Structure 1
Amino acid sequence: MATPQVAQVRRLVTEIPGPKSRALQERRERAVAAGVGSVLPVYVERAGGGIVEDIDGNSLIDFGSGIAVTNVGNADPAVVERACEQLTRFTHTCFMVTPYEGYVEVCEALDRITPGGHEKRSMLLNSGAEAVENAVKIARGATGRQAVVVFDHAYHGRTNLTMALTAKNMPYKQGFGPFAGEVYRMPMAYPFRWPTGPENCGPEAARQAIAQISAQIGAQIGAQNVAAVLIEPIQGEGGFIEPGAGFLPELAEFCRANGIVFIADEVQTGFARTGHMFACEHEGIVPDLMATAKGIAGGLPLAAVTGRAELMDAVHAGGLGGTYGGNPAACAAALAALETIESRGLVRRARAIGEVALDRLRGLAEKYDIVGDVRGRGAMLAVELVKGGGDTSPNTEALGQVVRYCHSQGLVLLTAGSYGNVIRLLPPLAIGDDLLDEGLSILEEAFAGI
């Protein structure tokens, strides 16, 4: 592993948040829209490897990675070097006006590393929501159909269309309608909460979803109008839900048989996060289109849609694009990040993190009956909290206690879940074993204190 520029040691010199962060928070409240939230109001000065340093001099262990963005580590030296070199040459031309090689190189790389040996094309954008929205545009344009099928607990973004695709109302959708139409929601294969047990979840959920797609849409607008089935191979904001085994393959086969575009939303799961380069590889899924973002460029804003050439090329010239999509500095960063993932074996590193962390988290499940489920792949892990004593109702109170303790002890920790009761762990793949162990120990202390 490359040596990070930031000392890889947790250090607390003030309370969390400290006085400088609190003062800056007061400035923020006078300047920044109240609707823009923050998980932990400590203001960052530097970050690298598995550490975030705040303006008060505290060094916090990072189990969030900016929501799965800094997979290669924050301010990765290769990413910084490539992006800075590009900035000295030019900052922007707009690829749709006067193009440049970096955009082409990133698309070539994505066409190479995404699943499937078929001919592919890619386009670049700024955010995950943009990628998802453009994937839907492409599917509709290529098929001439309108309907899009999504799933319970899904999260796909904050634009008008992606809010419609997202399942959770609060805080993502409340008060922002009306939303885009022709969106149909189906049951998700949620093993922990599947009525007949996790072992039956995948096949039963697939049969239910397929039956409802065929009946619901067929009855309303005709099956020939189904443009796409859109799904996260592991749901993110919904609670890091791994679909029951067999669910995704059956859906993909149903799509192939019915001329429906299968879109994998790999925005949070992509780029080595789950122990494969992409999460759909765990069950051998080859999507027709894939939306990516977050971990693609080591912290710079970039996103992409990659897919079958005949689908991507079906859209008329000028129908796809955007002023900043494929910004040259972000492209340079992405090329460095992809090289770092491969050269440093970060796919293997994600698996190793998962092996260590899952063992510790399962120990919590054995010890505390409020731990209803431990799940995840690679460095994308979750703990779902319940009331306990046979009651699987969501336990948001315990979750709040755990997260507050971890934050106070200098561990950046995120939450998720449709019911607000899931702790999610997203450490950077550059984190060292010592910091990973220390962070997990803090989490264990939090449970001991409930």
Structure 2
Amino acid sequence: MLTVNPVKSLQGKFDLPSSQDLFLLAVVTAVASNQPVVIKPIKISPLLNHWCDEFSRLASFQFDSGSCTVKPISSEDATSFLMLDYDYLPYKDLIIFILLGIGKTVAFRSVSQKRIDVICETIRRYGADCEVKTFDGNPGITLSKPPSISETFKVEERDISPLMGLYLGTRSAFTLQTTFPFANPLRHLAPVFGHEISFKSAVPRENDPFARRLKMLQSATSNNQGQKFNLTCDFSHPKTSEELIEISLPGDEILSTVMLSAKCLFPKGSFVISNMPLETWAAPALSFIRKMGCKVSVQETHRTSFGSAGMFSVQKCDLVGRKVECNPSSLYSVHLPAMTVLAAFAKGQSVFRNLQDLRNDEPDGIDQLETCIRTLGARHGEMPDGIVMDGGKDFDGFDLAGNIPAHIAASFAIAGLKCMGTTTIEDETLKMRWPDFESYLSQLYDLRS
């Protein structure tokens, strides 16, 4: 059980440990590309060891001095069946579809029938097909027909990750047109393996400078209406080298959001987060706090295999409630608890929309988060596709029990730092993901007297 007491400030420098979720995505991409890699830096945790055990029949893992060498097992010797813990699996809409594309039967512990149905519906949406069988009471999915989409396919933001996963797994290519920007972890990672990704404007360039400037002003005031982009992903010709490809990881994207929210609740004092992933898909909370009125300083310090990373600090923070369209919801879900904690302490109303997909899980993802918000004491209302909150009040300490996912437990631990009394939180999953989480906090905060 984690005990959290009120603090008066948060200061110092926090160097984020490397991302465990991106480690697993790199492993699965290496398996799909049949390419040995060395991934670094690595911070071992019980969760990382759990994943290595689950994927040990697809690749070998050798840890050494902060790095991990991953060598895919040949297709003849590798397993064709995987049993995975659905609750612990990150980037589900990428990893699951990559594995299915490779030709694996993927079975899940602790998954709802609604979620299985959604996965199958998604596969069929792309012209592919699948079969579902039960293994010791656990549902498993096998791809029975590869994907096939045309350039006229009407793509939505929620489609990008599953499409890229299936086509990467089947080592094929697609081209389609979108009306929204492209933000995805594979955008930078896939080219490291020799895959080709191109994302360009489909609107002809205006040669006249005055007309070009006028068009830019019109697009800026039309909420991106009329924008069109061509996205091409070719996964058919990966590198075929026996030499190790080096994969560099940024800091933990979920922990960065948790620490970012902590600093916004305690704006006094100097606090810097380093090694923070700065790509749009990794830091949706960054745009949220800017909309809330926070002035932040972001400095890129280095590039990783997943894009830019750098330093973050808060210069001024006036939290005001805002509306957020969480699209696609898969990129927001793990960051949402920290964002709702900020909304609980912000002035005015905050609305989080486009979260209906969370209702396909068991327990219901929106209901689970609302239970925690209610336990904190924040005012909120339920919507079919989201949450509405009224913030701006003080809270007493609270007790959060049960099997709470780590990203929720960590976020509400931060809320406990701002409360007037003692807070206790069940920390089993928290210790599995971040065994040093309590020491992270104790090194940074100053207790209230």
The answer to whether the superposition gives a TM-score over 0.5 is: no
Task: Report the TM-score range of the alignment, normalised by the length of the smaller protein.
Answer: under 0.3
Q: When the two structures are superposed, what TM-score results if normalisation uses the length of structure 1? A: 0.23
Larger strand percent? 2
Q: When the two structures are superposed, what TM-score results if normalisation uses the length of structure 2? A: 0.23
Larger helix percent? 1
